[in-house]
Amino acid sequence: MSPADAPPVLPSRITPPLKALPEGACDAHAHVFGPFDTFPLAQSRTRTPPEAAPHAHQAMLDALGFTRAVIVQGSAHGVDNRAVAAAVARAPERLRGVGVIDEAVTDGDLAALAAAGFRGMRFTEFTIEGGSRKPTSGFEALRTVASRLADHGLHAQIFTEIDTLHGEGADLAGLGLPLVIDHMGKAFATPIDISAAPAQALLGLVREGQAWVKLTVIRGSAAYPDYEDLRPWHDALVEANPERLLWGTDWPLLSLGDKTPDPGRLIDLFDRWTGNDSGLRQKVFVDNPAALYRFSD
């Protein structure tokens, strides 16, 4: 039995949400890594994740009740998107991919990725601890390839801090691509001042339909397990435009140690914060990702 076909081993804390997800629900943000003997990690990576195989990812989806999912290329694999492509190929009607590219990408490469179920490319740019972290593929690369992404029906997924996005947002919005903002626009920033210009600028992009935001709370809050410091920002995004919101587990929930949440409880948290609004649930978990990731194509 090959590692890819071995019985899945799930983290101990993955249990269904208290309220079953609707048919067509999509986990819009998760990762796979490896198998490393087939898909080795990039030499220039900043960290080494554990293997997170496609069969384990699909078992997680089944445990939570997700019909669909989006697998996002992790930085540890660099611009080698084969692990994500292989995972999507296991269940092409159920899965979509978001890759990572650089300026060297060809039109043939983009056409092949789009045909393989990729719907966007991820661009990362932020600073941590006062120093610059070299992005796998940053805003300069995005500007270089933007018109070709549009030609192939691919959007731009942005992983950055809200202050950085404030300085670049209007320019990026003018590239003519759908913009998808990771982790509620926070990256690893401190709690957001909603009244400040960066937050208001992002809310404006969402309100006007120029940007989508992924409601993944765990990377923007240190207040495990209820993340109450992020509640006002979550509420503001929901109020701004519920038709531009997505939801993701961020499986396999790397680098969280004893503060690793049960993703089923994160779904419950969404329900609690939104008053168990079935209409909103349908939009965020089903209708919005169906439109953005084109599951009917």
Residue 54: cis peptide before it, omega within 30 degrees of 0: no
Residues near 292 by Cβ (< 8 Å), separated by ≥ 6? 119, 155, 178, 180, 212, 246
| Residue 154: CB atoms within 10 Å | 23
**Is 107 a known active-site residue?**
no
Q: Which alpha helices (DSSP H) does 116-262 contain, by range?
A: 139-151, 162-173, 197-207, 231-240
Q: Cα separation of 228 and 40, whole Å?
A: 38
> What single-letter DSSP state applies at residue 168?
H
Residues near 85 by Cβ (< 8 Å), separated by ≥ 6? 97, 113, 116, 117, 118
Intra-chain end-to-end CA distance of the chain, in Å: 34
Choose the catalytic residue: 250, 262, 268, 271. 250
Say if residue 9 is exposed, middle or buried (CB neighbours under 10 Å; 0-12, 13-18, 19+). exposed
- The DSSP element (H or E) to which 278 belongs, if any, is helix 278-282
**Catalytic sites, residue numbers:** 250
